[in-house]
Amino acid sequence: MEMMVWNTLLTAMLAVVGFMVMEKFKEVNRLGMLINRTREEVAREHITRAEVHRDLEKIMVRFDTGFKKLEDKIDALNARREIHGQ
């Protein structure tokens, strides 16, 4: 009788431990799936080097165009000053 009680207690404890381990494995798998989704979303939202270079090139062209116009205006202003100054 005493052996049967002991076997019942050990079986119940083993079942509880097994259930807890199974739940932890399920949780680890769930977290793994969430991490993979997060990686996919982060990769989708990040900008590529080619896009950065293209955007920077557009900005540089705009700056160059603006500076060229500014230089032309300064040259024209200096030319008018030279004409009126002489």
Most confident of 22-26, 49-53, 80-84: 22-26
Q: How many domains does the chain have?
A: 2
pLDDT of 43 above 80: no
- On whether both 32 and 53 belong to a single domain, the answer is no
According to DSSP, residue 1 is labeled: -
- On whether both 41 and 80 belong to a single domain, the answer is no
In this prediction, residue 33 carries a pLDDT of 94
pLDDT tens across 31-41, in order?
Answer: 999 999 888 88
- On whether both 5 and 40 belong to a single domain, the answer is yes
Global confidence as pTM: 0.47
- On whether both 11 and 25 belong to a single domain, the answer is yes
- The whole domain housing 72 covers 49-86
pLDDT of 84 above 90: no
- On whether both 40 and 76 belong to a single domain, the answer is no
